Structure 1
Amino acid sequence: MSDNALSASGAGAQWRGALLLALGLTAARLVALFVTPLELYPDEAQYWLWSRTLDWGYYSKPPMIAWTIWTTTAIGGNGEAWVRLAAPLYHLGATLAVFGIGRRLYSPAVGFAAAALYALMPGVQISALAMATDAILLFYLSLALLAYVELPRAEGRGRLWIAAGFGAAVGLAFLSKYAAVYALIGLGLHLAISREARTVWSWDTAGAALAAFLLILAPNLAWNAAHGFSTVQHTAANAAWGGRKLFNLPELGEFVVSQFGVFGPIPLAVLIGGSLLLAVRKRLTPADLTLLCFSIPPLLIVTFQAFISRANANWSGAGYVAGSVLVAAWLMRWRAKGWLIAAVGTQALIAALFLACVVSPPLAEKMGAANAFKRAKGWEQTVRGITERAAAEPGLTAVAVDDRFLFNASAYYGREFFAGPGAPPLRMWVREAHPQNQAETTDPLTPATGAHVLAASLDLVYRDEMAQDFKAVSDREIRSVMLDRKRKRRTELFLGDGFAPLPRDPVTGQPPAPKVTRPE
């Protein structure tokens, strides 16, 4: 057999291995979705609620997640598994794209190792079993990076099409989550420091990429313009430094530690150590430089933000598509086979344990990890307590809640009740002078719907503030739902008549402090 035939055979084996790994993990995740007793997180319930009314944008996120849920629930119904169905499928696509990136930049063997590191990444295990924007974002970012690394090898009209594909993938990533801006930062950084990268682009290819990008993004930009750029403002507010103590070493330390849990301890150590070592020794290959430009900026920017203000662990996730390929390439270049096996093996063990806990939450409780799943428990029972009380009270003009999590959960788990004939509408009590979330924006409690209200308080800090906005209130009724042996969710219900909100403070926008706080 010729060397070319052997090479093709090896490449085919690596591709089949990556495909089988991705399909096997996806099958296991789909089984877990359909057998788990875990309920929707409130944010998932919110995205489901958005999907009932398709639009080009929503209060806090671009539209792709709502479109995705609309598609899967149109096929299978509104059950939790169908709301989440697309998450493992997006990661299936991303895993195969990561293989393609590794194969194109290095070798099929690197592509297989990178696909394994990505598919078994601890952060991906969570993202693949919960419907959030990260899975969609990473899929389209992986397609964008795949197109970008294919571009130098394309010729003629093929290069124009690939450039347009790159722009379209970045545009779709923006419709998924505005963290897609890291793709543009990576592109700009690579073009700035690599002459070779600049020679790939011409006015024609740049125009094709920009046209595809703007064509896809334009409807969302128009929606934002028509809605006061609410999504952009919310995203900026999430990242804002104002109102918080600057220079937070504890926040910085917590974020850095969290990244070992998101990317994996060995891969993150290799990514950080390899970046410093090879940069100092000036042994970075052009492929290394490409991937560093797309992987390091999210890590550095979000780490700095954690130090200045705060940052969630998943905010740096945009860097880990390129990071997975880079770590695989370096470990294979250094012939560190043992470390590669240890990295993949460790992450496979974590993935197996997580799947087991999702299928059987009591196992998480035995392992001392029950707190990680508490937001996916007890919502159906909590909402049932509210709707049963509402059904027993004649003449209600609304059911009002003081917490967006409770609003979203009530909209989902109370969907049959609130859709029933003569049912009172679900409304959100607005605490401050201006809406702070989508529920307050689209479904606020007003005097017109506040004549006779069943109020439900989940955030007990605000219960008295909400009560003082009514002319008369009844005694409180306490409903508690056990989440595990140690934790419970407490909801307080009361009837309120004559909703007439007190004036909010003109400076802070907050209601006046309650004059009397009833004992619990």
Structure 2
Amino acid sequence: MEQNKDIKALLILSFLFLLFKIISIYFSKLGLHGDEAQYWVWSNNVAMGYFSKPPLIAYVINFFTSIFGEAIYTLKYISVIFYLGTSFLVYVLSRMVFNERIAVLSGLTFFLLPGVSFSSFIISTDVLLLFFWTLSLYLFLKNNNMPSILLSFILGVSLGFGFLAKYAMLYFFLCSCIYIIFDRSFSKIFFKNIKYNLFTFIVFLLIISPNIFWNISNGWITFLHTYDNASLNKISLNYINFFEFLFAQIFIFGPIIFVFFLLYLKKFISFEGRILFFSCYSVPILIIIIIESFLVRAHGNWAAVSYVGLTILMVFFLENHKFKIILFNNLFSLFVGFLLFFLIVGDYKIRVFEQLRGYNSFSNSVLEESKNNNIQNIVVEDRMVYSLLSYYLRNNNLNFYTPKASSNIVSNHFQIKNGLPDNFSKNFIYIGLDSHLDYLKTDYEKKLINKVDINKVKKNVNIQKFEIN
């Protein structure tokens, strides 16, 4: 009874935290990150694919902004909504496999993870990936226990949307193969339902096919970027990258649950059906990313999809005999979450938030120079600055370009759609290094018209005027 009261209290505190999160985002003076602004720009130019990411993030932003407007808080709320949905799916999945009590604790624990709290303030592809990963786990189990054409179709759509969120969704197929190999009883069920599973795979292929065709027509550009981002061509032992990845996991999970995860590692190696299922959909991914962190590099979020299975299993292992550990862990996570959003709404001068400051003011400086010099063409070298200026100056009828010599390799999506041609023959305002414009054939006279410190990270940014001689 006492433990049930603790769970109810935790539910109430979590609801209050959700309200505080919503209020903090609404009143926060922090701006967008360059990547977030880039996704917004993409959402205004809907396509089957983009240079660095699959297209779902752009579709989702386009859907929300067409209904609720383009304010920063509207964009940020997308993450809050999807994390709520993912937490609910963690609850539903856990209830199907275990019981109501473990389900409630699993959903709460996932929702309160420090990494989830931090990511709730960021528009990212991981937010969508985690939602469709968790939904696919639930549907995969349900469809093989109670197969139907409808469930098979929905599962195929979910897998396809997960892939269109982030290519890391392909881990799902690797993990499924491992699970089918090691769980013989499930293997029999899977092959008994093979026609349903094949139908799911066909639906998946149909959903992702437009993006595949887009990649083919653009030289597999997104896949090549993903490969380059993984730095698989620069293999060498690097212990620093490993420890950076390790510390990132401590932050994402929180130190308490992370310590018990290390203590309970042996429990993950089990052929008991329920444990094996979640282990197969988390441990292999973690192993792959750990190896990658040793050999090349790995960002903390690269193992994101493993967090669902790991969280559920840790709650299962601790719930019976170490309930207070779960309770204390979640209270600590609540404290971290409240502190984080207190800092967000309080506009405290913390370095981690510096990249979110100053761009609104900088955009006004660029707009002022544009009006003073009667120039509507803005050329920006850096994709982050390009994206942020495009967002903050979205209502001012300006034309944005980025340098792109025809002989150079494409380095971002704007060079595909908004590259400055070598025969461009209009006056423009330029933000960037002069050397990136050496390819222009038109004779221009350049003049420095302003120098701005955007924030403590990006200083002495030149705003130049290029006039035709």
The verdict on how the C-alpha distance between 1:436 and 1:387 changes in structure 2, with shifts beyond 3 A counting, is same
Residues 4-15 of structure 1 mapped to structure 2, 5 A cutoff: none
Equivalent residue for 1:37, pick from 16, 20, 29 = 29
Task: Report 1:185-264 matches (<5 A).
Answer: 185-201=174-190, 202-242=193-233, 244=234, 246-264=236-254
Q: Deviations over 1:420-450 (max 9, x none)?
A: xxx5x21112377121001112111123325
Map of 2:86 onto structure 1: 94
Count the aligned residue pairs. Answer: 463
Task: Rate the CA distance shift 1:488–1:167 in 2: closer, same or farther, 3 A.
Answer: closer
Partner-residue secondary structure (3-state), 1:37: coil
Partner of 1:509 in structure 2?
none
> Per the alignment, do residues 16 and 147 of structure 1 end up closer, same or farther by CA in structure 2, a change over 3 Å counting?
farther
The one of 255, 258, 262 equivalent to 1:265 is: 255
One-letter identity of the residue aligned with 1:231: T
1:171 aligns to what?
160
Deviation of 1:17 (Å): 8.5
Q: Tell me the CA shift for residue 208 of structure 1.
A: 2.6
CA-atom RMSD in angstroms: 2.7
The residue correspondences of 1:128-147 to structure 2 (distance < 5 A) are 128-147=120-139
Q: Could you say which residue in structure 2 is the equivalent of 1:303?
A: 290
What SS class does the counterpart of residue 489 from structure 1 fall into? Answer: coil
* CA 1:409–1:464: 2 relative to 1, 3 Å: same
Select which of 48, 51, 58 maps to 2:40.
48
The partner residue of 1:276 within 259, 262, 266 is 266
How far 1:341 sits from its partner (Å)? 1.6
1:117 to 87, 90, 109: 109
* Cα offsets for 1:382-408 (capped at 9, x unmatched): 1211121122114x4732112111110
TM-score by length of 2: 0.91
Amino acid in the other structure paired with 1:173: G
Question: AA paired with 2:466?
Answer: G
- Offset at 1:276? 2.7
| Residues in 2 aligned to 1:374 and 1:319: alpha-carbon distance in whole angstroms | 30
* Percent identity of equivalent pairs: 22
> Match for 1:99: what amino acid?
Y
Farther-moved stretch of structure 1 (253-262 vs 76-85): 76-85
2:354 counterpart (363, 374, 389): 374
Paired residues of 1:59 and 1:234 also in contact (CA < 8 A): yes
Q: Measured at CA, do residues 397 and 84 of structure 1 come closer, stay the same or move farther in structure 2, by a change above 3 Å?
A: closer
Following TM superposition, by how much is the alpha carbon of 1:85 offset from its aligned partner in structure 2, in angstroms?
Answer: 2.4
- How far apart are the structure 2 equivalents of 1:30 and 1:278? 36
Q: 1:426 maps to what in 2? A: 400
Structure 1: tracts of 5 or more residues without a match: 1-5, 458-462, 500-520
Question: How far did 1:169 drift?
Answer: 1.5
Distance (whole Å) between structure 2 residues aligned to residue 165 and residue 456 of structure 1: 47
CA–CA separation in structure 2 for the residues paired with 1:406 and 1:278: 45
Instruction: Identify which range, 205-214 or 99-108, moves more after superposition.
Output: 205-214
**Quick one: distance in 2 between partners of 1:208 and 1:50?**
32
TM-score by length of 1: 0.82
State which of 403, 407, 414 in structure 1 corresponds to 2:393.
414
Question: Displacement, 1:313?
Answer: 1.2
Q: Which amino acid aligns with 1:121?
A: L
Q: How far apart, CA to CA, are the structure 1 residues paired with 2:383 and 2:187?
A: 47
The CA deviation at 1:375 is 1.6
Q: Determine the C-alpha separation between the residues in 2 that align with 1:262 and 1:429.
A: 38
In structure 2, stretches of 5+ residues that fail to align are none
Change over 3 Å in CA distance of 1:400–1:255 after alignment to 2: same
Is the alpha carbon distance of 1:213 and 1:42 closer, same or farther for their aligned partners in structure 2, counting shifts above 3 Å?
A: same
Assess, with a 3 A threshold, how the Cα gap between structure 1 residues 60 and 323 changes in structure 2: closer, same or farther: same
Structure 1 position 145, deviation (Å): 1.0
The ranges of structure 1 where at least 4 consecutive aligned residues each deviate by more than 6 angstroms after the TM superposition are 13-22
Q: What amino acid is aligned across from residue 446 of structure 1 in structure 2?
A: P
1:266, 1:238 → 2: CA distance?
Answer: 31
